[in-house]
Amino acid sequence: MGKDTLVKPGTRVRLANHDPDENGGLAKDDPEVEKRLGAARERMGDLQARLYAESKQALLIVLQAMDAGGKDGTIRHVMRGVNPQGCSVTSFKAPTTEELAHDFLWRIHQYVPAKGLITVFNRSHYEDVLIARVRKLVPKSVWGKRYAQINAFERLLTESGTRILKLYLHISEDEQKRRLQARLSNPHKGWKFNPQDLKEREAWDRYMAVYEDALSKCSTAYAPWHIIPANRKWYRNLLVAELVADTLEGMDPKWPEPVCDLSEVTIE
């Protein structure tokens, strides 16, 4: 399944060629969906326990999407199978004055997972080649260098024992409109609506262009991107859960050996 979503390193991404309505030939009420999702969560729980006990590797999950793209929902529905003791979520907002006084990766590096842990980034260092470009927060002479700097940063993490799983949740412009409207119509979701979302929506085409650049230039053999069709939330959750489980399985964490010969231990 991962191969279907994988951005092959060195290829040029055209998001128009990726259908955000893709459903894998399944239906929401298909028993196979819940069966596979449950199996993926069970694998995640077992593998996370091993990862935590082994404490030699870490997993960083990077989530990027347009506004209302489903990052929060993905975290809520997919990560419910893991132990909170070994998993954290970090959301990156507009940088503070202190953060702006450092290089753009300084604030990111502080939150990468320690060995044995899983961290989910809700938005990430990629904002510095996305919103920074669309809003023209920095000149091309600055953001143009950041793709190589990001790749070098991710290589450093990878070579230090951190596996990186990067997921772009791909929704359509029409689906975003429906979700933003739902925030306006639902009294329990109104708090999530920000008038700035409408200004960002006006720049949809520019965002698609800069996302294509980021996905193309920063999908590497050691930290590739995956494009997740995300109009259908249930299918998005299934794909992400299976990718997380498959990634942990590929890391192959081992239960550590006991510190002593347990056969000689007697508890009185």
pTM above 0.85, yes or no: yes
Quick one: which H or E segment has residue 37? helix 31-54
pLDDT digits (tens, 9 = 90+) for 170-188: 999 999 999 999 988 887 7
Residue 239 has pLDDT above 60, yes or no: yes
Q: Is residue 260 part of a domain?
A: no
User: Alpha-carbon distance 211 to 129, whole Å?
Assistant: 8
Q: Is residue 160 part of a domain?
A: yes
Torsion sign, CA atoms 105, 110, 115, 117 = negative
Q: Beta partners for 64?
A: 168
- pLDDT for 2 equals 59
In the chain, how many domains are there?
Answer: 1
Q: Is residue 263 part of a domain?
A: no
Residue 222 has pLDDT above 70, yes or no: yes
pLDDT digits (tens, 9 = 90+) for 50-62: 999 999 999 999 9
pLDDT digits (tens, 9 = 90+) for 97-145: 999 999 999 999 999 999 999 999 999 999 999 999 999 999 999 999 9
Contact 75, 89 (CB under 8 A): yes
Q: Is residue 114 part of a domain?
A: yes
Q: Is residue 262 part of a domain?
A: no
Residue 3 has pLDDT above 70, yes or no: no
Q: Is residue 101 part of a domain?
A: yes
3-state helix, strand, coil in the chain (%, to 5): 55, 10, 35
Q: Is residue 261 part of a domain?
A: no
CATH number, domain with residue 46: 3.40.50.300
Q: Is residue 268 part of a domain?
A: no
Range of the domain at 90: 2-253
Please work out, in degrees rounded to the nearest 5, the angle formed at the alpha carbon of residue 261 by the alpha carbons of 255 and 266: 115
